[in-house]
A = this chain, B = another copy of it.
Amino acid sequence: MARPVSQTQIARQLGISQRAVSMALRGQSGVSEELRQRVRELADKLGYRDNFLARALIEGRTRLIGMLANGFADAFYLPILNAISSEIQQSGNRLVFCRWNQVKHDDDEELDSLLRLRVDGLLATPKTPTSWVGGGYEILHKQKVPVVFIDQQAPFDNFGSVISDDIDGIAQLVAHLKSFGHRHLLYMDVPAGRPPHATTSSLRRSGFLAAVGVEGLPLSEHHLLHQCFDQQEYTANLAALLRQNPKATALVCFNDGLALQVIDALHALGIRVPEDISVTGYGDALQNVERFRLPLTTINQSTHEMGQHAAQMLLAMIDGTGSAEKIRVPVKLIERATTAIARPLDHQ
């Protein structure tokens, strides 16, 4: 690919200065109308396009927005990405999409790469490091690059964040189950402290404990089962948990994906959902869920709005009309088919 046409080339062909070309093309005064015509014509003929990089170098802004996320596999993030790409594009900026490094446990490489690109701002669903200090995010923080976290608490004051109300969501689920007569609930979690879900995981777990307390329900010593990705093994683990908690009639799962795994395990154990045990998901991330054999009762997180909020906040931070806020988007319970009136069952 040969180098594209530059203003200098046009100027040379016309025997004029490069500056005249620049002025003419941008419609600024300082060039005769006649010369402007000639410049325009030649530019069109040669297929001239202004070089965004060169301008960015001068202006000190690139109109590039970094977007860091865990790929496009998780359906939960799709409405968020959709909203974001839409907002960013409308604003005349461009989205540089950056995937999580699937092996490393931080985002430092990706952040470095985005920083070298001189993005004007960053939207991120970050991996959660054990500590935010000393890592790539602290560099953004110090350099005052506008950053908005999505689905993750902001670790610095000058970072914006858009999260959803996990505590309230879990509370709604627990209240819902209680209203169905459930008294012994168990919480199904993802592996502790592991990305991608580290923050929401701890929030929902503690939210569960709090909600159970508020509702005055008994709390089992073994109220929690961590996910493992071998379905056989998970089924065995779940069987053991139910044996330890024979009165349990409802399982509150960290998210929709885990809920599906739990339901499969229950079915493998010959336990019916929701007749024998109720199950709840979280996120309402499953597409076409109303077509499922067993549509999941879950919490909807208004993901599209989350994306919109995040993009708009970031754009406002960049052009100085707004500052970093912490936005908490409300959630709502979606009652479908995996929860029902409690019917105590003896697991043995």
Contacts and interface: CB of A to CB of B under 8 A. Distances in A.
Interface of A: 1-4, 47, 49-54, 56-57, 60, 62, 64, 67, 71-73, 75, 78-79, 81-82, 85-86, 89, 94-99, 112-113, 115-118, 120, 139, 142-146, 260, 286-288, 291-294
A294 B106 CA distance: 41
A86 B57 contact: no
Given A1-B120, A52-B118, 9 more contacts: A4-B143, A51-B118, A52-B116, A71-B86, A72-B72, A72-B81, A85-B97, A95-B97, A293-B293
A173 to B, nearest CB: 21
Contacts of A71: 82, 85-86
A251 B9 CA distance: 60
19 contacts: A1-B120, A1-B145, A1-B146, A47-B143, A49-B112, A51-B57, A51-B116, A51-B118, A53-B117, A53-B118, A64-B96, A67-B97, A72-B78, A72-B85, A89-B99, A260-B291, A287-B287, A291-B294, A293-B293
Contacts of A56: 53
A82 B73 contact: yes
Contacts of A60: 3
B73 A78 contact: yes
A94 to B, nearest CB: 5
A110 to B, nearest CB: 8
A9 to B, nearest CB: 14
Contacts of A139: 47
B144 A1 contact: yes
Contact of A292 (B51, B57, B291): B291
A82 B72 contact: yes
Nearest to A63: B117
Given A1-B146, A82-B73, A96 B95 contact: yes
Contacts of A54: 57
A52 B117 contact: yes
Contacts of A120: 1
Contacts of A3: 60
A149 B197 CA distance: 35
Nearest to A121: B1
Contacts of A67: 97
Nearest to A285: B287
A150 to B, nearest CB: 14
Contacts of A292: 288, 291-293
B49 A4 contact: no
Q: Which has the most chain B C-beta neighbours within 10 Å: A2, A82, A143, A288? A: A288
Contact of A50 (B4, B81, B94, B116): B116
A99 B116 contact: no
Nearest to A102: B86
Contact of A115 (B49, B64, B113): B49
Contacts of A89: 98-99
A145 to B, nearest CB: 6
Contacts of A142: 47
Contacts of A99: 85-86, 89
A47 B287 CA distance: 44
Contacts of A53: 53, 56-57, 62, 117-118
Nearest to A81: B72
